[in-house]
Amino acid sequence: MNNDTAPKPDQKMVGPLAIIFDLGLAAVFFLCMWHVAYNHTPDFSERGRQISAAFCALSLTGVFWLCVQGFRVTWVDQMRRKKAGVQS
């Protein structure tokens, strides 16, 4: 592998606009998961159901955020390598 054409490691992989977009996706995902979790929470008090659903949706949203960031970084790296003509 020729290191002259490899992407520079000090380049940013994700910009601020991409992070804002991902935050929007995560917010939509949180609301969807909250709705699903709320409907599957046993009938306690209304406040208890909301809190339970929020904690469940929050943990799932965290995993979603990590997956989106991992996908984005991998995709950007592959596109940069393809553009530079580097085979992995």
* pTM for this entry: 0.78
Q: What is the pLDDT of residues 3-36, one digit of tens each?
A: 555 556 677 778 889 999 999 999 999 999 999 9
Domain boundaries, the chain: 17-76
Q: What is the pLDDT of residues 48-75, one digit of tens each?
A: 999 999 999 999 999 999 999 999 999 9
Q: What are phi and psi of 19, to 5 degrees?
A: -70, -40
Three-class SS state of 3? coil
* Structure tokens given for 29: 């995902």
pLDDT at 53: 95
Alpha helix (H) residue ranges in the chain: 16-39, 46-84
Could you give the CA distance from residue 18 to residue 39 in angstroms, rounded to a whole number?
A: 32
pLDDT at 64: 97
pLDDT at 88: 61
